[in-house]
Each structure stands twice: as C-alpha cells, then as structure tokens.
Amino acid sequence: MSKIGKKLIVIPAGVEVKKTDSLLEVKGPKGTLTLEINTKANVIISEKEIVVEKGGSSKEANAVWGLVRSLINNMVIGVTEGFEKKLELQGVGYRMSMQGKKLVMALGFSHPVEVDTPEDLTVKVEDNNVLSVAGISKQRVGQLAAVIRGLKKVEPYKGKGFRYQGEIVRRKVGKKAGTAK
C-alpha cells in the first residue's frame, strides 16, 4: 500500500478542478495546469477533496498510484502558491545578468553563455550572484534550474560554479607538493 497514494488532496478556495476522460485540469489564481492521467489510476473529485485510487491490482498500478497523487498535489500547490528554486553562482569573474528575456552569463569560457527563458517561468538575478527561477509547474522550474546548473556545476576543489541555495558542497584537498629526497 502506498503511503502517499492514500492521502487525500484538499482543494483550497479559489481552485477549480475538472476531469474530462483522462485529462485533469486545475485552475487557480496563478494559472492553469493540465495532466494526462494514467489509466492505472482512478481520480475521484468531490467538492473539497481529490481521492486517487488504484485502477487494478497489478504491479504497475501500485507504482503509478502514488505518482499520480503527487503530480496532482503539485499542480494544486503550483496554481495557488507557485514554486521557486534559487541558484548561487560562485567564482572570481563569474557574472550573470538579464537582457530582456535572455539570461547572459560569464562562466569562464571564451564566450558569454546565453539561455532563453520560457514565457511561463520568471527568472530574476538578485545580488549579482543569486538566480531565482519561479513558476507554477514544479517540473518546469526544476528542469530550467537543472539546465542552468549543468552549464557550470560546482567543482570540488575551489567550489566554483552553480549550486542550489543551501546546498553543501564537499571540498577535496588539492595536490600537495611532494618532499624532495
């Protein structure tokens, strides 16, 4: 039995949930999200809550049950509160700035790195070294943050590169000069 799948999803005030065939639509103050529901999970919508049930007793139904519940819960949270990820850029000479809808970064390469930001996400540069990615879809926010982080991951010797805010990076000891014999 899935501990996550058994939990009810409470629909907050101002959120409207509709189900047509295998498509679920969640509307809220921040926007609208849709999800195609797997046939191995049943979604039952009442006035104030959503219940996700298994669509059978197969191994796949057990696997999908908690996943569908989590995806729907993330949609409800996204249209009411939204999601945000913050990245820190550390390193001498590393800079980033917004030019319109484009994020331009100097990451120690011979050329500036440019990333186009999607329309549904908000990207802000704070304090010259903190990047904030916000939106209503948890998957889209996390994916853009991961793509930006992948441009210059934190290296373990000096700690230079992108890291999530609050992430602890284990540092390695560098090469030591050998003693001459």
CATH pick for 3-80 out of 3.40.50.300, 3.30.70.260, 3.40.50.1820, 3.90.930.12:
3.90.930.12
Helix axes 59-80, 138-151, angle to 10 degrees: 90
Write the pLDDT tens digit of every residue in 21-51.
889 999 999 999 999 998 888 899 988 999 9
Write the pLDDT tens digit of every residue in 74-115.
999 999 999 999 999 999 999 999 999 999 999 999 999 999
CATH pick for 83-164 out of 3.90.930.12, 3.40.50.300, 3.30.70.20, 3.30.70.270:
3.90.930.12
**Higher model confidence: residue 54 or residue 34?**
34
Contact 171, 163 (CB under 8 A): no
Banded pLDDT at 177 (limits 50, 70, 90): low
pLDDT higher than threshold 60 for residue 178: no
**Residues linked to residue 19 through DSSP beta bridges, in sequence order:** 24
Query: In sequence order, which residues have a C-beta less than 8 Å from that of residue 154 and are 6 or more positions away?
Result: 90, 160, 161, 162, 163, 167, 169
Phi-psi region of 82 (alpha: psi -120 to 50; beta: other; left: phi over 0): left
Mean pLDDT, residues 51-75 taken together: 89
Q: What is the pLDDT of residue 63?
A: 85
Nearest to 92 by CA among 35, 23, 157, 161: 161
Q: What is the pLDDT of residue 47?
A: 86
